[in-house]
Amino acid sequence: MELLMNSKTDYLLEASLESLHAESMEWLNEIDFWSDEMTFFYRLLRKNQSNKAFPTAELAAVEMELVSLTSDKVNKLRNEIQSHERSLSAVMKNTSSGEEEGYRAKHRQLVKDINETYILIKAFKKEVFSFVR
């Protein structure tokens, strides 16, 4: 994974601001999809069948994980990316290389955050799938 991240980081050093903007927009679309998935999983877990099939403590733990993923990770990440996009506008108006470097550094951090959140969501889905089986 580190090798891929280094290659991605190198790309970010060379990518145009327009490319970084397009990537941010893709992230926002992915986050919207994650939010829809989390809503689906919440409804799945709250169904009467699920409440009877899962032990109460386990169900509560999965629901807490869902709430944490949704509010602490997904929504926070959406807000950070939207803020990042607003800062792009300022960077494009101002030709200061310092501002652009700061924007690129934040973009690299967001790449890491998106990947970490994706891994957490994937693990959560596996956990829910094991319950549903």
Q: Give the start-to-end residue ranges of the domains of the chain.
A: 17-132
The tens-digit pLDDT sequence of the chain (133 residues) is: 444 555 555 555 578 888 998 999 999 999 999 999 998 988 887 775 555 666 678 778 888 899 889 888 999 999 999 999 998 888 887 766 778 888 899 999 999 999 999 999 999 999 888 776 6
DSSP string, 49-115: HHHHHS-HHHHHHHHHHHHIIIIIIIIHHHHHHHHHHHHHHHHHHS--HHHHHHHHHHHHHHHHHHH
**For residues 11 and 97, what is the distance between their CA atoms, to the nearest angstrom?**
18
Protein fold of 17-132:
Four Helix Bundle (Hemerythrin (Met), subunit A) (1.20.120)
What amino acid is encoded at 112 in this protein?
Answer: K
Residue 18 CA to residue 103 CA, distance in Å, equals 12
pTM here is 0.77
Q: Residue 61: what pLDDT?
A: 85
- For residue 3, the model assigns a pLDDT of 45
Give the pLDDT of residue 84. Answer: 93
So what's the pLDDT on residue 77?
95
What pLDDT does 130 receive? Answer: 79
